[in-house]
Amino acid sequence: MSAYLVLPGIGGSGPEHWQTRWEAAEPEMRRFAPESWEAPQLDQWIAALDAAVAACSEAPILVAHSLSCLLVAHWSARSDRAVRGAFLVAMPDPQGPDFPQEAASFGNPPELFLRFPAVVVASSDDPYGPLAHSRARARQWGASFVEAGALGHINAASGLGDWSWGREQLRRFEDGLTGRIEG
CATH code for the domain of 162: 3.40.50.1820
pLDDT interval class at 177 (50, 70, 90): confident
Q: Is residue 58 part of a domain?
A: yes
Q: Is residue 128 part of a domain?
A: yes
The per-residue pLDDT for 179 is 52
The per-residue pLDDT for 178 is 64
pLDDT interval class at 182 (50, 70, 90): low
Q: Is residue 181 part of a domain?
A: no
Q: What is the pTM of this model?
A: 0.94
Q: Residue 13 region, left (φ>0) first, then alpha (ψ -120 to 50), else beta?
A: left
Domain range enclosing 129: 4-175
Q: Is residue 183 part of a domain?
A: no
Beta bridge partners of 14: none
The per-residue pLDDT for 181 is 47
Beta bridge partners of 65: 89
Determine contact, residues 42/64, Cβ cutoff 8 Å: no
The H-or-E segment that residue 79 falls in is none
Q: Is residue 45 part of a domain?
A: yes
Number of domains in the chain: 1
Q: Is residue 182 part of a domain?
A: no
Distance CA 55, CA 69 (A): 20
How many CB atoms within 10 Å of residue 164? 10
Chain-centre distance for alpha carbon 70: 8
Average pLDDT across the chain, whole number: 94
Q: Is residue 96 part of a domain?
A: yes
Beta bridge partners of 7: 64
Q: What is the mean pLDDT of residues 130-148?
A: 97
pLDDT at 53 over 60: yes
